[in-house]
Amino acid sequence: MDHVESTTSKVTGKLPTEEIDSVVIRFAGDSGDGMQLTGTQFTQATALQGNDLATFPDFPAEIRAPAGTTFGVSAFQIQFASFDVLTPGDAPDALVAMNPAALRVHLKDLPRGGLLIVNSGAFTPGNLKKAGYETNPIEDGSLDGYRLVSVDISKATLAATQPFGLSQKEALRCKNMWTLGLAFWLYDRDRQSTIDGLRKQFAKRPEIADANIAALNAGHAYGETIELPSGMSRLIVPKAKYEPGLYRNTTGNEATAWGLIAGCQSAGIPMMLGSYPITPASDILHYLSALKHFGVVTFQAEDEIAAICAAIGASFSGSLGVTTTSGPGMALKTEAMGLAVVTELPLVIVDIQRGGPSTGLPTKTEQSDLLQAVVGRNADTPLAVLAAATPGDCFTLAIEAVRIATKYMTPVILLTDGYLANGAEPWRIPEASALPKFPVHLRTEAAGFHPFLRDPDTLGRAWAVPGTPELLHRIGGLEKDYDSGNISYDAANHHKMTKTRAAKIAGIARDIPLQTVHEGEDSGDMLVVSWGSTYGAVLQGVRNARRRGLKVSHAHVRYMSPFPRNLGEVLSRFKKILVPEMNNGQLVKLLRAEYLAPAEGFNKISGQPFRVSEIESKIRETLEA
């Protein structure tokens, strides 16, 4: 990591502290060890401390995988820094391994010399065997190259929680808080937000809150007495320079839910969410179900098809129908999307992409639904597609999706992915009054009305909803006559309607921002084009390459259909175009097809986000080729 450069050692008390620009820490343990909670608490405290950050929760698909096994390992990585953080970091500077399986899975990512904290109490013969260790790595010298801190966290936790009369099982559950306490001490984080959180969470069982807080404090106190391995010191990461404002952490799913609500307020219409539980989209259903006081109606449907169909019904009735899903659910909703396209109803479909095909890798991230979103329906069935770049961008683009859907009377697909959905970043809280406003005008005027009467500018059709006197009409999946909206099987009319539907979507390009090159020169040897959640890694990779003197620029696309109207022109200004994607090459195909651009793909399909270093070396390789 090249930003871990500036260090100024100083001594406070008996231990040296060191100022450092950025730290990447990974907590790993068994699914039952509470690593996600440890991670989110650490994130919270870090945000409050004023660092910029990005996180990467990585958990298994099984709810309760057999304890101690490698496939039951759950991890949470966070990068926090005094500068603008774009990714959760390539490799951890510090790894916490709560059991042998976690060590087995994650040690390979820890650079030699990195800080390694292990819970020796979990390194029992049984656990070692389950993780495939013949001898105990803590004792056999195989960890010599790392700065090892071996503590029996289980025992220390039992001792700390002993006064509270918990069962052994309950007491052991507090060991993630002990670990968190130690991490807080090492990186100088404040414990108060966690303590407040525990008090709130366990308000009904104060003894559990007390035990967890005691474990947290004990872990922190342990730091005071610890003998750090040689060369290690307590690390201080100064505050990042943010734009002034009020901040909070948000995940992509939370931001999406809020953006949808905000968008509907901006449009001045109620929201109806039809959804069916699916990883990693379910949290949006959970969030919105709890926000009924915003007038949101949520409907957990019997299946993905009913979810989108109910949303379409709601849009027909004058609400904004929204449906949230992931790849397999997208496949099921396809036919209904066609209905929304042909009936020209507003609809927002959020696809939290995950690894596929089929059930694939439900908890891992991927960008492989782009082609499905843009063209994956029977017949010529165009609609608008947006893709969020960061967790915070999910908020902005959810609002934009509502704007486009209601203004153009079209379904809009918002693509995010598992990485954005669960990853957190600090988000500058907007003033609700400053959000864009785009009130919907429902048709009430009878004179000259027919249901497919179009706005000459947007080509959006008139939206007249049941309950409106004198505008009685019928719509459906059959082709309509351009001039009356009645059923029509006329050949020339179908040609015209197909062209009109395409022109309507293409016309949205006049109403969205132009494509910018936001890093590097506007023309030159090479442009790296990214979309979706690879934004941070690609931008950082380009920045690093430029710092090393390479001539390369970066453009990030958020509007996938239609593309920004100058995108082809931007591409044409570069000799080489590299398109990194977490799929087997989808945007690259669209760019080549649309613009005959000499775009080359760079693909990673491992369920894991790109590392900055991977981008950087691919840039070098492509430039040298």
Hey, which residues between 486 and 525 contact another protein (CB under 8 A)?
486-487
The residue range among 121-129, 207-215, 356-364, 423-431 that interacts with another protein, by the rule CB under 8 A, is 423-431
**47 touches 190 (CB < 8 A):** no
**What tokens appear for 421 in the block?**
């959905």
Single-letter amino acid code for the residue at 58: D
Query: Which 73-132 residues touch another protein, going by CB under 8 A?
Result: none
Smallest gap from Cβ 293 to another protein, in A, equals 4
Contact with another protein (CB under 8 A): which of 75, 314, 374, 398?
314
Indicate whether 429 belongs to the interface with another protein (CB under 8 A): yes
CA separation (Å) from 34 to 59, 75, 127?
Answer: 11, 9, 18
Binding residue (CB under 8 A) for another protein from 476, 495, 523, 598 = 476
Residue 317 vs residues 292, 311, 401, 540: alpha-carbon distances, Å: 19, 10, 19, 46
DSSP labels, 581-625 = ESSSSSHHHHHHHHH---EEEEE--SSSPPPHHHHHHHHHHHHH-
Rounded to a whole number of angstroms, the minimum distance from the CB of residue 485 to another protein is 11
Which of 94, 110, 262, 526 is the binder for another protein (CB under 8 A)? 262
- Residue in the structure block whose two tokens are 């008996």: 14
Compute the least distance from the CB of residue 377 to another protein, in Å.
12
- Closer CB to another protein, 155 or 199, in the complex: 199
Residue 4 or 291 with smaller CB distance to another protein: 291
Site for another protein in 569-598 (CB under 8 A): none
Residues 40-59 that bind another protein (CB under 8 A): 44, 47-48, 50
Query: Which of 434/625 has CB closer to another protein?
Result: 434
Tokens 């979706």 — which residue?
532
CA distance 464 to 450: 9
Q: Does residue 279 contact residue 252 with C-beta atoms inside 8 Å?
A: no
Identity of the residue numbered 595: Y
Is residue 450 classed as helix, strand or coil in its secondary structure? coil
By the rule CB under 8 A, 264 interacts with another protein: no
Please state the closest distance from residue 55 (CB atom) to another protein, in A. 15
Task: For residues 387 and 149, give the distance between their C-alpha atoms in angstroms, rounded to a whole number.
Answer: 42
Give me the least distance between CB of 248 and another protein, in Å please.
Answer: 5
User: In the complex with another protein, which residue's Cβ is closer, 228 or 435?
Assistant: 435
Residue 234 half-sphere exposure toward CB, CA atoms < 13 A: 23
64, 292, 518, 547: which one binds another protein (CB under 8 A): 292
Query: What's the min distance (Å) between Cβ of 352 and another protein?
Result: 21
Q: Count CA atoms within 13 Å of residue 104 on its CB side.
A: 21
- Let me know how long the chain is: 625
Tokens coding 308: 């989108």
Least gap, CB of 220 to another protein (angstroms): 19
H/E segment holding residue 257: helix 252-267
Q: Among 4, 91, 159, 297, which residue sits at the site for another protein (rule: CB under 8 A)? A: 297
Interface pick for another protein out of 16, 32, 238, 270 (rule CB under 8 A)? 270
Question: What's the min distance (Å) between Cβ of 520 and another protein?
Answer: 28
Binding segment for another protein among 291-299, 348-356, 412-420, 495-503 (CB under 8 A)? 291-299
User: How many residues line the site for another protein (CB under 8 A)?
Assistant: 71
Distance of closest approach, residue 90 Cβ to another protein, in angstroms: 27
Q: Rounded to the nearest whole angstrom, what is the least distance from the CB of residue 463 to another protein in the complex?
A: 13
Among the listed residues 313, 360, 376, 507, the single contact to another protein using CB under 8 A: 313
Start-to-end CA distance of the chain, whole Å, equals 25
**Residue 409 touching another protein (CB under 8 A):** no
243 near another protein (CB under 8 A): yes
Smallest distance from another protein to CB 313, Å:
3
Q: Does 347 bind another protein (CB under 8 A)?
A: no
Instruction: Examine residue 432 and tell whether it contacts another protein (CB under 8 A).
Output: yes
Strands (DSSP E) found in 98-233: 115-119, 147-151
Question: Considering the rule CB under 8 A, would residue 1 count as an interface residue with another protein?
Answer: no
Question: Which one of residues 177, 232, 306, 590 is an interface residue with another protein (CB under 8 A)?
Answer: 306
Question: Residue 489: CB partners within 8 Å, gap ≥ 6?
Answer: 479
Rounded least distance, CB 362 to another protein, Å: 22
Stretch that binds another protein, among 67-75, 86-94, 201-209, 293-301 (CB under 8 A): 293-301
State the minimum distance, in angstroms, from the CB of residue 238 to another protein: 13
Where do the DSSP E strands lie in 39-110? 52-58, 73-81, 94-97
Taking CB under 8 A as the binding criterion, the range among 219-227, 289-297, 381-389, 509-517 that sits at the site for another protein is 289-297
Q: Which is nearer to another protein, 43 or 367 (CB)?
A: 43
259 class by beta-carbon count within 10 Å (0-12 exposed, 13-18 middle, 19+ buried): buried
Our finding on whether 258 is near another protein (CB under 8 A) is yes
Q: Which amino acid is at 515?
A: Q
CB-nearer residue toward another protein: 144 or 243: 243
Kindly indicate which of the ranges 111-119, 221-229, 285-293, 532-540 contains the residues binding another protein, using the contact rule CB under 8 A: 285-293
d(CA 329, CA 305): 8
Interface with another protein in residues 152-211 (CB under 8 A): 193
**Binds another protein by CB under 8 A, chosen from 302, 483, 594, 621:** 302
Residue 605 within binding range of another protein, rule CB under 8 A: no
Query: Which long-range contacts (C-beta less than 8 Å, at least 24 apart) are formed by 584-587?
Result: 584/368, 586/367, 586/368, 586/370, 586/371, 587/370, 587/529, 587/531, 587/557, 587/560
Strands 15-19 and 8-12: what pairing?
antiparallel
Pair of tokens at residue 190: 């404040």
The CA-based angle 514-404-470, given to 5 degrees, is: 145
- Residue list 445-474, contact with another protein (CB under 8 A): 465-474
In the complex, least distance from residue 468 CB atom to another protein, rounded to whole angstroms = 6
Q: Where are the beta strands (DSSP E) in 330-418?
A: 347-353, 384-387, 411-417
CA distances 143 to 103, 107, 111, 224, Å, are: 10, 9, 12, 24
Which of 32, 376, 430, 568 binds another protein (CB under 8 A)? It is: 430
